Structures are given as C-alpha cells and as structure tokens.
Amino acid sequence: MLERSKTNATASPLMVRLDVESKQALTAAALLRRISISDYVRTVTVVQARREVASAREQTILLSTDEQLAFWQALNAPKKLTFAQKRLGATMRGAK
C-alpha cells in the first residue's frame, strides 16, 4: 500500500473562475514571488482570510487602505440635510 502524506490526505481542491484581468494579476503577483499561482493563492489569500475571520471574531472592522480613506472621507463630508430634516429641526427649535 502507498502511504499518502498528511498534506495530500487533507488537501481539498478549490476551483475559481476568474476574468482574464484577475488571472493576469494573480499570475504577475505569483511571478514576482517566484511561486506558482496555487502557492500564491494559498500564501496570500488564506492568510488574508484568516485575518478577516480573526478580526470578525474580535468584532473589529478590518479595512483596506482604500476603504479607510473612503470611510474617512464619508465621515468628513459636509452633511446635506433633506427638506424633511430641515423642517424637523425648525419644529424642534420652535420656529414655524
């Protein structure tokens, strides 16, 4: 009988369909690290997924740099009140 290694015995295949640009990006990133696309996905994607799971368990929000910037800009954007909000504010201040 052939003995399979623990890694092969517990490995589970994953198929992902990507558009051409996404596959090219993965290929280029893997080439930069001089590893296969599969190894790249394992080393980068799995690590990121584990971070996100840990973050969710801690009930914290993990945002990318772009997401952080968008969130900050949204917080600092001037508020534009609707007509109903303006009318409610006037009513609460006692104005007619």
pLDDT (tens digit, 9 = 90+) per residue, 37-58? 999 999 999 999 998 888 888 8
Polymer length of the chain? 96
Tokens standing for 93? 């201040």
Cβ(77)–Cβ(67) below 8 Å: no
Contact 43, 35 (CB under 8 A): yes
Reported confidence tier of residue 9, pLDDT bands at 50, 70, 90: low
| For range 69-85, the mean pLDDT | 90
| Rounded-to-integer distance, Cα 96 and Cα 91, Å | 6
Percent of the chain with pLDDT over 90: 55
- Tell if the pTM clears 0.75, that is, is over it: no
The amino acid that residue 79 corresponds to is K
> Mind listing the pLDDT tens digit for each residue in 14-24?
888 999 999 99
